[in-house]
Amino acid sequence: MIGLVLSTLRHRKAGFAGAFLALFCAAALVCACGILLDTGLRGTIAPERYAGAPVLVTGDQYVHQDKIKKHKVKHKAKALAERAWLPVATADRLRGVPGVRSVVTEVTFPAEVPGATPGSSWGHGWESAALTPFTFAAGRAPSAAGEVVVDAATARTAHLRVGSRLPVSSPIATGAYRVVGVTREALPHQAAVFFSTGEARRLAGRPGAVSAIGVFPAAGESGTSTVAKSVTAAVRGTTATVHTGGDRGRTEFWDAEKARIKLISMGGALGGTALLVAILVVAGTFALSIQQRQREIALLRAVAATPRQIRRMIGREALIVSVGAGALGAAVGPLLGLWLRDRFRALGALPPTLNLVISPFPLFAAVLAAVVAAWAAARLSARRSARIRPVEALGEAALSGPRTGAARILAGLACLAGGVVLTLVLSSLNTEAASSPVTMLTAIVWTVAVALLAPIVARTAAALWGTLLRLSPVGGHLAAANLRTRSRIVGSVIAPLTLMVGLTGTILFAQTTMGHAATAQADAGTVADHVLGPKVPAAAAAALRHTDGVTTVTEVLHSTVRVGLANYGVQGVTPAGLSRTMNLDVRSGSLNGLDAGTIAVSGTAADRLGVHVGDTIRMTLGDGTPFAPRVIAVYGRGLGFGDLTVAHDLLAAHVDDPRADTVLVAGPAGADALRSAVRHYPAVTVLDQATLSKDRAAAGAEVNYVAMGLIIAFTAIAVVNTLAMATADRARELALLRLVGTTRRQVMRMLRWETLAVVATAVVLGTAVTLITLTALATGMIGSAAPYVPPVPYLAVIGGAAALAVLATVLPARLALATRPADLIGSRA
């Protein structure tokens, strides 16, 4: 038996090459996704700044909630968006803990200096230098407010030495400082600027609070675990949390930690989608290759193979092909993972401090995925092949006509029903976390339904296109006849094409639908004359307020809060004169009373939370501070501006970087006057409408495009694969046409007509899948059943599908026609 399997594999290399390629791509994709997932689950972030502190005490970075489900208490924790600070009193409490030699407090705030990467340059007080530890290469500690110490790397890149003047830009103030010291050490991923204790506290802007506390045991490193226990006991009941070892890195790089958590869901969703698509694609390829061997299988059945033996034979072929393809895919997977890492890093979705975990698990998972996909595919195709009647081996007559199995039709109808259910579910989902995986699943289930019902679809399509095709007397006429009689093969080509069009459409246009709605709202609601950004310090905003011809300046700051465990986007805006710069489309209540104890809520959020004007919402701000404001207004433009709106000063006190993301300016002042007002802040510019719209639409979309782009590429390979297989198998038929007097041109034209009819069918179906899915998505997320499909990308999708399909048909056909027709017909076996 195994000998028969091996000779078949050797002999039918071309037929199995398709399945091999599909499985290989699937394995590589699953492996890469597995690496992302593994990194998310087990990725470690090494501490840098806090490497010298054996025990680190910080605020609690999570919101906790106990859910009671059937007598079981389930504890759930969700990450906060910003750094949680601690009261400085905690440090005093720790000083008395037995075994503690010293306690060092730390404040951290953005401090941008020339030459350092924005967003990774931090200011500290020199008293916390021991946390790394930093020591002097030259100079002394800062003692006056105007003095700083810089790390070795910053000194090198900015050409600083003791005595240099250094401009430092921090949220509270921008000013020039005198360098009084340069450290011996530097940190790999961040620049460190040390101020005098008092100046650091002032710039941090959080009186009475510290961002971290380092605890040094009297017994040195060896006393870490004992002291950690005593420290944990000492802070019990407060919000403080205790970290040792690698755990300190997660606390230090909170961004990386958030990215790590995000990788888990992204790797899972991407891997899951890849696996589903793989099974679909591989099943199609296998079914096609078995269909092409129908006569051989019928012969085996006639001379002595039981249906079980045929199933086993196909199963073993699948096993051998999948193990080979899976192993090769697993070998390439890590390279794909590294490529994804680089792309994500370039897009800012993956911080450089979080390193990729490459372990054997994703490699095994990839091989396993390939084997499972092949096994499932072989099972599905073997069901049919075992039904091939041995009589079909007799004689030269054509094989029995296509009969679509009842089980297949039932499964197809079940998938249609599943698609309807998922579509309804999707149209009721209004959080992005829930809707994005469901969107992909909905599109895939609809496509699976199309794939299962493909023979029926193909027959219907043949009937519909037939009339049109017969207008072309030779090529079109033949094409129409072929579409009618080869409906099973046509169906297996329509399926992957529909998958490609449907998935590409859903991925691309889910982003445009959401982006378009948000951009449209933001554009309509921004009534200011000018917009400035990014990272506008309070002082710059104040300078703008004092500019002639400026009537209102609205600072806008974004963050995320948690209501219960759910995430809500929040914007902080300057309440004074808000109506002159921003129109949130207030439906009830008024924004006039916006202050430190009130909030405005979007209509969708109000529905989800069940609140009205006058109610109170309990929430946790980004830094873990509880907040219970009273609702004063409900507004319509939540997608464009965020679900919640609070006063700017309130929000600014609870975020890591209180500089405004944008500043809206109303008044007759010209752009030049504004530019001159902020000339001391070179990073701040007057933004034009086009950049603004583009920035709004692009946020977050690229990461999705990169990840999902791989899946689109995979389906494209599947399309080429299937079409090439289907065409290459027709060599004999094409030769016959040539022998009876059809010219080569006519044959090619026939093939082109056929392909175009197939593409047209797939485009119609794929577009239907896209529109149904996106309408549901838009209904849930935007509240209006209006998917936005920009015409140019849509035409590009169609054109791409058509070009791929024609290419994958024409090239193998040319090869087939290159053989002398008489030779082909003459050869028997």
**Cα distance between residue 3 and residue 19, in whole Å:** 20
CB-wise, 6 or 796, nearer to other proteins?
6
Q: Does 301 bind other proteins (CB under 8 A)?
A: yes
Helix (H, G, I), strand (E, B) or coil at 778: helix
DSSP 624-653: S-EE-PEEEEEES-HHHH-SEEEEHHHHHT
Q: Which residues contact 590 (CB under 8 A, 6 or more apart)?
A: 632, 633
Contact flags string 233-272 toward other proteins, x per CB under 8 A: ----------------------------------------
CA atoms within 13 A on the CB side of 274: 31
Q: Are 681 and 540 in contact (CB under 8 A)?
A: yes
Per-residue DSSP letter, 214? E
CB-wise, 186 or 314, nearer to other proteins?
314
State the minimum distance, in angstroms, from the CB of residue 821 to other proteins. 17
| Of the residues 66, 221, 396, 823, which one makes contact with other proteins according to CB under 8 A | 396
Q: Among all chains, which residue has been given the structure tokens 């239907």? A: 768
Q: Does 829 bind other proteins (CB under 8 A)?
A: yes
Q: Does 302 bind other proteins (CB under 8 A)?
A: yes
**Cα distance between residue 733 and residue 801, in whole Å:** 26
Question: Order of strands across the sheet with 212-217?
Answer: 100-106, 212-217, 55-59, 240-244
**Cα distance between residue 293 and residue 400, in whole Å:** 14
Q: Are 552 and 669 in contact (CB under 8 A)?
A: no
CB-wise, 298 or 759, nearer to other proteins?
298
Q: Which residues in the 70-109 window bind other proteins by CB under 8 A?
A: none
State the minimum distance, in angstroms, from the CB of residue 785 to other proteins. 48
Distance of CA 116 to the CA centre of its chain: 28
Which of the stretches 61-69, 81-89, 329-337, 390-398 binds other proteins when contact is defined by CB under 8 A? Answer: 390-398
State the minimum distance, in angstroms, from the CB of residue 307 to other proteins. 6
**Cα distance between residue 621 and residue 654, in whole Å:** 7
DSSP 721-756: HHHHHHHHTTHHHHHHHHHTT--HHHHHHHHHHHHH
CB-wise, 109 or 286, nearer to other proteins?
286
Q: Does 306 bind other proteins (CB under 8 A)?
A: yes
CB-wise, 393 or 634, nearer to other proteins?
393
Q: Does 10 bind other proteins (CB under 8 A)?
A: yes
Number of shown-chain residues binding other proteins (CB under 8 A): 31
For residue 44, which of 214, 241, 260, 224 has the smallest C-alpha distance? 260
Q: Does 728 bind other proteins (CB under 8 A)?
A: no
Q: Does 406 bind other proteins (CB under 8 A)?
A: no
Q: Are 131 and 214 in contact (CB under 8 A)?
A: yes
**Cα distance between residue 301 and residue 291, in whole Å:** 15
For residue 757, which of 475, 452, 445, 409 has the smallest C-alpha distance? 475
**Cα distance between residue 680 and residue 434, in whole Å:** 44
Alpha helix positions (H), 782-820? 791-818
Contact flags string 341-380 toward other proteins, x per CB under 8 A: ----------------------------------------
Q: Which residues contact 144 (CB under 8 A, 6 or more apart)?
A: 196
Which of the stretches 94-102, 283-291, 292-300, 816-824 binds other proteins when contact is defined by CB under 8 A? Answer: 292-300
Which of the stretches 40-48, 218-226, 385-393, 497-505 binds other proteins when contact is defined by CB under 8 A? Answer: 385-393
| Of the residues 130, 299, 347, 425, which one makes contact with other proteins according to CB under 8 A | 299
CB-wise, 387 or 618, nearer to other proteins?
387
Which of the stretches 6-14, 132-140, 683-691, 711-719 binds other proteins when contact is defined by CB under 8 A? Answer: 6-14
CB-wise, 15 or 43, nearer to other proteins?
15
| Of the residues 26, 28, 280, 300, which one makes contact with other proteins according to CB under 8 A | 300
Q: Does 3 bind other proteins (CB under 8 A)?
A: yes
Which of the stretches 145-153, 384-392, 470-478, 601-609 binds other proteins when contact is defined by CB under 8 A? Answer: 384-392
| Of the residues 305, 543, 556, 708, which one makes contact with other proteins according to CB under 8 A | 305
Q: Does 296 bind other proteins (CB under 8 A)?
A: yes
Which of the stretches 66-74, 90-98, 296-304, 502-510 binds other proteins when contact is defined by CB under 8 A? Answer: 296-304
Per-residue DSSP letter, 580? G
Q: Does 819 bind other proteins (CB under 8 A)?
A: no
325, two tokens: 């393809």
75, two tokens: 């504890």
| Of the residues 64, 95, 161, 308, which one makes contact with other proteins according to CB under 8 A | 308
Which of the stretches 1-9, 27-35, 258-266, 358-366 binds other proteins when contact is defined by CB under 8 A? Answer: 1-9
For residue 576, which of 640, 659, 643, 666 has the smallest C-alpha distance? 666
485, two tokens: 């009689």
C-alpha distances out from residue 322 to 276, 335, 492, 725, Å: 16, 20, 21, 18
Which of the stretches 105-113, 164-172, 247-255, 383-391 binds other proteins when contact is defined by CB under 8 A? Answer: 383-391
* DSSP-assigned beta bridge partners for residue 340: none
* DSSP-assigned beta bridge partners for residue 58: 241
Q: Does 295 bind other proteins (CB under 8 A)?
A: yes
State the minimum distance, in angstroms, from the CB of residue 294 to other proteins. 11
| Of the residues 115, 167, 390, 466, which one makes contact with other proteins according to CB under 8 A | 390
The total of other beta-carbon atoms located within 10 Å of residue 647's CB is 21
Distance of CA 469 to the CA centre of its chain: 43
CA atoms within 13 A on the CB side of 654: 25
Q: Does 303 bind other proteins (CB under 8 A)?
A: yes
Which of the stretches 118-126, 258-266, 294-302, 484-492 binds other proteins when contact is defined by CB under 8 A? Answer: 294-302
**Cα distance between residue 116 and residue 158, in whole Å:** 8
Q: Does 207 bind other proteins (CB under 8 A)?
A: no
Contact flags string 471-490 toward other proteins, x per CB under 8 A: --------------------
Q: Does 394 bind other proteins (CB under 8 A)?
A: yes
Q: Does 410 bind other proteins (CB under 8 A)?
A: no
Q: Does 395 bind other proteins (CB under 8 A)?
A: yes
- Interacting residue ranges for other proteins, rule: CB under 8 A: 1, 3-4, 7-8, 10-12, 295-296, 299-309, 389-391, 393-396, 827-829
